């Protein structure tokens, strides 16, 4: 069985992408539209546990992994 996973989701603006604005509604729609089984939160050079927990709780139907882009 093939799984659909996006390992590169940004949820917090950083110096590298300061114009970025996160939307939980957009992320829900993205996951549903592409029928993803899992995602990984991989922000630039940082990890925000509160942000991660909010997303994992909101998307409880899929597996959400923590990550960081270095």
Q: Which of 18-22, 28-32, 64-68 has the lowest mean pLDDT?
A: 18-22
The packing angle between helices 49-58 and 24-33, to 10°, is 50
Per the CB < 8 A criterion, the answer to whether 16 and 50 are in contact is no
Residue 44's pLDDT is: 86
Reduced to 3 states (helix: H, G, I; strand: E, B; else coil), residue 32 is: helix
Say whether pLDDT at 56 is over 80: yes
More confident residue, 34 or 12: 34
């Amino acid at each position: 069985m093939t799984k659909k996973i996006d390992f590169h989701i940004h949820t917090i603006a950083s110096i590298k992408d300061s114009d970025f604005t996160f939307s939980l509604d957009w992320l829900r729609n993205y996951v549903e539209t592409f029928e993803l089984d899992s995602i990984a939160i991989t922000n630039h050079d940082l990890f925000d546990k509160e942000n991660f927990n909010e997303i994992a709780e909101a998307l409880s139907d899929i597996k959400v992994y923590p990550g960081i882009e270095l």
